[in-house]
Structure 1
Amino acid sequence: MSQFTWFTGRGPALLEAQLDRRIGLAAPASLDHRPLGEQRLVVLDLETSGFDMKRDQLLSIGAVVIERGAIDLGQQFECTLQRLDHKVGPSVLIHGLAPSQIAAGSEPAEALLAFMEFVGDSPLLAFHAGFDQRMLARALKQSLGYSLRHRFFDVAELAPLLCPQAKIPRGGLDDWTRYFGLQAQQRHHASADALVTAELALILFSRARRQQLDSLQALEQRLAGWRRRQKVHLI
């Protein structure tokens, strides 16, 4: 058999072992009424070459796991993706990834397979999750021909939903970490940002339980109503 398996159309070429791994990736779990303390959740942060979701590239992934109501430091993921055609732009002042680090990174298909194996069937959390979700989905489609279907929760939505008294309706991660007295070891570093986002999520889950919102399904339902009210206020 050939060393490579070619997808039809304009899809990527993968080693047969990579294709087998892609086929073996877990399907996303459906939301249910299990208490938040019984969930496994993957909190991620991405660093990218810019903020254009159609043109810029995913450069690094950092992720930690919340399981049994705590951050499991034994389950962490960190990877820089190799981008041989990467051009240095203004974003390097934010993420601090040197061209040599990016050139020496992991081959994208390998990095993304390893990350999705780490994720398993778990839901994902991120701050301003829409951007991370789109950038990750695009990278997965380009490098693996894989369609991302995992559920994302946006900590930037959960915070004002659960803590309206903070009066930070559209705050950034720095605003909320200051509000709760948290400190990121190194901002705009994927792993450090993922860790502080996970710490913030645990605080918010505690607030959610006090409001009888002790499952991802209950949070999703409350978020749906909150989003509708936000749209009305903007009209």
Structure 2
Amino acid sequence: MSQFTWFTGRGPALLEAQLDRRIGLAEPAALDHRPLHEQRLVVLDLETSGLDTRRDQLLSIGAVVIEGGAIDLGQQFECTLQRRDHKVGPSVLIHGLAPSDIAAGIEPAEALLDFMAFLGDSPLLAFHAGFDQRMLARALKQSLGYRLRHEFFDVAELAPLLCPQAKIPHGGLDDWTGYFGLQAQQRHHASADALVTAELALILFSKARRQQLDSLLALQQRLAGWRRRQRAHSLHRQH
């Protein structure tokens, strides 16, 4: 048996043990009407070499779990990915990852397999989730030949949807944590940002239940209508 298994085309080469792990990853769960407090959710934050989702690299992953209606501090994930070709850029002033941290990181395929095993079949939450979703999907495709199909929910959308009285239509994480009086231990650190995002999400879920939105499926449906109204409002203002 060969030590490596090659994918067809230009896919990555994986050790057979890595391929076995990839094959064994859980299929993402379909959204349903389970109450929010019965749902396991993984709250994700990524640090990257920049904001270009086509060229920049995923550098670190931080994640915490919401389960049983609370943050389960016994389920946390944190790792830095090894990037041999990483060049220090302006983003180091934000994420603070030194070249030595990245050189000592975990080989990307191993790191991503570890994270996907931690994720299991759970949906994902993130702040400005579109960016995290694209960066994670690209990293998974490049390092594992894996297509990300897990559901993502954007806390940056849930917050103005559920709290229109705050009048923070396009707020950042600092805006919303400030509004609710939350404090991040260390901003722009993946694990710390994931934790404060999870705290914010729990507040929003409480508000969702008061609005008879007590499942991810109900939230997804309400979000779809909210997005349509946002687009219509934006088009109206342009004309």
Band the TM-score falls in, shorter-chain normalisation? over 0.9
| CA-to-aligned-CA distance 1:9-47 (integer Å, 9 cap, x gap) | 100000000000000000000000000000000000000
| 1:117 positional shift | 0.2
The share of aligned pairs that are identical, in percent, is 91
| 1:217 positional shift | 0.2
Look up the SS of the partner of 2:168 in the other structure.
coil
Look up the SS of the partner of 1:79 in the other structure.
strand
Look up the SS of the partner of 1:30 in the other structure.
coil
Q: Name the structure 2 match of 1:40.
A: 40
| Distance in 1 of aligned mates of 2:126 and 2:192 | 13
| 1:53 positional shift | 0.5
Look up the SS of the partner of 2:221 in the other structure.
helix
TM-score of the two chains, using structure 1 as the length reference: 0.98
| Distance in 1 of aligned mates of 2:62 and 2:44 | 6
| 1:225 positional shift | 0.1
| Distance in 2 of aligned mates of 1:138 and 1:201 | 26
| Distance in 1 of aligned mates of 2:59 and 2:204 | 29
| CA-to-aligned-CA distance 1:152-179 (integer Å, 9 cap, x gap) | 0000000000000000000000000000
Q: Runs of 4 or more off by more than 2 Å in structure 1?
A: none
Instruction: Please state if 1:225 is matched with 2:225.
Output: yes
Instruction: Please state if 1:188 is matched with 2:196.
Output: no
| 1:111 positional shift | 0.1
| 1:57 positional shift | 0.1
Residue correspondence of structure 1 range 31-180 to structure 2 within 5 A: 31-180=31-180
| CA-to-aligned-CA distance 1:65-121 (integer Å, 9 cap, x gap) | 000000000000000000010000000000000000001100000000000000000
| Distance in 1 of aligned mates of 2:89 and 2:78 | 22
| 1:151 positional shift | 0.2
| CA-to-aligned-CA distance 1:41-68 (integer Å, 9 cap, x gap) | 0000000000000000000000000000
| 1:132 positional shift | 0.0
| Distance in 1 of aligned mates of 2:14 and 2:63 | 25
Look up the SS of the partner of 2:169 in the other structure.
coil
| 1:209 positional shift | 0.1
CA-based RMSD of the aligned residues comes to 0.7
| Distance in 2 of aligned mates of 1:3 and 1:31 | 38
| Distance in 2 of aligned mates of 1:36 and 1:86 | 40
Look up the SS of the partner of 1:118 in the other structure.
helix
| 1:130 positional shift | 0.0
| Distance in 2 of aligned mates of 1:14 and 1:72 | 33
Across the two proteins, how many residue pairs are aligned to each other? 232
| Distance in 2 of aligned mates of 1:2 and 1:128 | 42
| Distance in 2 of aligned mates of 1:54 and 1:37 | 36
| Distance in 1 of aligned mates of 2:168 and 2:141 | 35
| Distance in 1 of aligned mates of 2:61 and 2:12 | 21
TM-score of the two chains, using structure 2 as the length reference: 0.97
| Distance in 1 of aligned mates of 2:53 and 2:61 | 16
| 1:142 positional shift | 0.1
Structure 2: where are the runs of 5+ without partners? 232-238
| 1:189 positional shift | 0.1
Look up the SS of the partner of 1:88 in the other structure.
coil
| Distance in 1 of aligned mates of 2:53 and 2:30 | 27
